[in-house]
Amino acid sequence: MEEDNNTRTVSSTTTTNTTTMDPKTGFNSISRTFQTLRPPLNLPPPHATISAATYILSLHYKSPFPSSSTLLIDSSTSHQLSYSNIIQRSKTLAKNLTLRGLTKHHTALILSPNIFQVPILYFALLSIGVVISPANPISTTSDISHFINLSKPVIAFTTSFNRKLPKLPLGTILIDSPEFESLTTEVKGNSNSSTTAVLPEVSQSDVAAILYSSGTTGKSKGVMLTHRNLTATVAAYDAVRIPTESPAVSLVTVPFFHVYGFTILLKSVAMMETVVVMERFGLGKMLSVLERFRVTNLVVAPPVVVAMSKEGVTEEYDLSSLKSVVCGGAPLGKDNFDAFKAKFAQVSIIQGYGLTESTAGVIRIVGPEEASRAGTTGRLISGVEAKIVNSDTGEAMSPGEQGELWVRGPPIMKGYVGDPVATSDTLVDGWLRTGDICYFDNEGFVYVVDRLKELIKYKGYQVAPAELEQLLQSHPEIKDAAVIPYPDEDAGQVPLAFVIRQPQCSMGEAEIIDFVAKQVAPYKKIRHVVFVNSIPKNATGKILRKDLLNKILQQQTFPRL
């Protein structure tokens, strides 16, 4: 895991004819594609023998801060570990796991909340070419069986409370146990074992991780990400690195088992940030942690931004250290953006857009000026190109025109494990079909309208649920909301809203319908409202609309309008 000073790097950019590319939008009128406006990537050759772990640490060594700087802080105990300590622990763990028989191309299933041991484990496994396969620790037995069938792990790493795992060839290791602690601090075996543990060479083209797609539109798939994918994603952060006088202090509330938290963790190590780890999320606890550790960067999903914007929620906490909020995983509406900025004018909201299949963000905000733009998720990251495709005609669209976003570049996944049909449906000549309706403006900024498959088809009109949700969430007496398409004999589909009211709120269905109707075109009006106590979401705050639709179809029947 040491820095390889002899690694040959190459500039990785999309090929374009600059004479036909608009320098403001990045749009190439000949190829009908949008090119990145960011600096070029500096990457190893595609098949170079350098792991993502080695590459990331090579960036960390560029930092002006010493290795004694703190990498991890446990928010519950205030215990800290330095960069040098964690690097040494990862090296030791890699040797011990190799001596146990774990080697390149094996897969390791990881079920854990955000705790100290996870980053150590990730870097150890990446350095020896073992495929990381992290999943939600509260997954059901059925889900875990599905993950195992997809990724075929030979070993599992989990915590003491999780007893759902079947027997695997190399067993299960509890990462919160004395056994794991010893595996990270002393080499096991005979006295010469440190020299007999031969670490395999890892290529950029090797699979590094199998992450599970959110499953918002069906059963989750195993997304194969290569070391090249992870390297390119972190390199894109390095390409726009902004020097700081002291290490940033980041509180990462999103899970490390999700591509969002996973890549943020890798980026934080490369940028030599201090990461505050919070095992279990609670809004009050989070605000206390922000104050106590003088956090500068907060990494969250949109529901947290919405909650912080509400009156009276943050007043008793000193959040003056906060400089930026990284918000991703689901759309953040303009009204919610404006409400947060009205309360925290000094804090930049850094939005981005990406999928598990694109190794997280391929579109991102960079810098305070871009962060002042409400509604956009930013510009294409370094090394990535895109096109907007009309879903009906297949035609590539121009700036300002909506269509399905297709992206291409080094962060795009290898494919879905064991599912060539789904892979060929999603990857077309290297292009990833995102399934999201988007458009580019006249300065190259991208706006996400909604999921292609989630658009409500009302009498031939297309209605975006996200637009209506953001309107509903802007009402002070509404805590949260979700909108789904509901079958209707005359219209085809109509918008139906699930609403969580604030405590002591007595708003009725008619008031909510009227509130929305005054602000949207007639075909976008909410037609039904269901009051609920909770809305099902995945780990990053994305609404599980299929669960809501199934629930309502089973339990409710509405009269025709």
What pLDDT, on a 0 to 100 scale, did the predictor assign at position 555?
65
**Residue 195 predicted with pLDDT over 70:** no
User: How far are the Cα atoms of 434, 436, 526 from residue 390, in angstroms, in the given order?
Assistant: 13, 11, 27
**Residue 319 predicted with pLDDT over 50:** yes
Taking the model in full, what pTM does it have?
0.82
What pLDDT, on a 0 to 100 scale, did the predictor assign at position 86?
96
Task: Give the Cα separation of 34 and 279 in Å (integer).
Answer: 40
**Residue 551 predicted with pLDDT over 90:** no
Place 192 in a pLDDT band, splitting at 50, 70 and 90.
Answer: very low
- Of the chain, the percentage scoring pLDDT greater than 70 comes to 91
190 or 532, greater pLDDT: 532
179 or 549, greater pLDDT: 179
Place 14 in a pLDDT band, splitting at 50, 70 and 90.
Answer: very low
Place 2 in a pLDDT band, splitting at 50, 70 and 90.
Answer: very low
> Average pLDDT, stretch 45-52?
94
What pLDDT, on a 0 to 100 scale, did the predictor assign at position 556?
53
Task: Give the Cα separation of 398 and 405 in Å (integer).
Answer: 12
pLDDT in tens, 404-418: 999 999 999 999 999
> Average pLDDT, stretch 188-213?
79
Cα angle, residue 372 at apex, residues 472 and 374 outer, rounded to 5°:
25
SS3 333: coil
> Hunting for tokens 């960390």 — which residue is that?
60
What pLDDT, on a 0 to 100 scale, did the predictor assign at position 9?
42
Residue 351 identity: Q
231 or 492, greater pLDDT: 231
Place 7 in a pLDDT band, splitting at 50, 70 and 90.
Answer: very low
**Residue 454 predicted with pLDDT over 80:** no
> Average pLDDT, stretch 14-35?
82
pLDDT in tens, 207-252: 999 999 865 445 679 999 999 999 999 999 999 998 888 999 999 9
**Residue 559 predicted with pLDDT over 60:** no
Find, among 230, 300, 301, 327, the residue nearest to 270 by Cα. 230
**Residue 27 predicted with pLDDT over 80:** yes
Residue 198 identity: V
474 contacts: CB under 8 Å, gap ≥ 6: 333, 335, 336, 339
> Taken in order 511, 516, 519, 523, is the CA torsion positive or negative?
negative
The domain ranges of the chain are: 52-432+440-446, 460-555
Place 392 in a pLDDT band, splitting at 50, 70 and 90.
Answer: confident
CATH number assigned to the domain with residue range 460-555, chosen from the 4 options 3.30.300.30, 3.40.720.10, 3.30.1600.10, 3.30.420.40: 3.30.300.30
pLDDT in tens, 89-139: 999 999 999 999 999 999 999 999 999 999 999 999 999 999 999 998 988
Task: Give the Cα separation of 519 and 88 in Å (integer).
Answer: 58
pLDDT in tens, 52-63: 999 999 998 888
Find, among 358, 475, 383, 341, the residue nearest to 350 by Cα. 341
198 or 250, greater pLDDT: 250
What pLDDT, on a 0 to 100 scale, did the predictor assign at position 10?
38
Residue 422 identity: A
Token reading at 144: 């875990």
- Of the chain, the percentage scoring pLDDT greater than 90 comes to 69
Find, among 170, 110, 147, 132, the residue nearest to 52 by Cα. 132
> Average pLDDT, stretch 322-342?
88
Considering only the top CATH level, what class is 52-432+440-446?
alpha beta
What pLDDT, on a 0 to 100 scale, did the predictor assign at position 523?
79
What pLDDT, on a 0 to 100 scale, did the predictor assign at position 56?
96
What pLDDT, on a 0 to 100 scale, did the predictor assign at position 49?
96
354 contacts: CB under 8 Å, gap ≥ 6: 259, 260, 328, 360, 361, 362, 363
SS3 6: coil
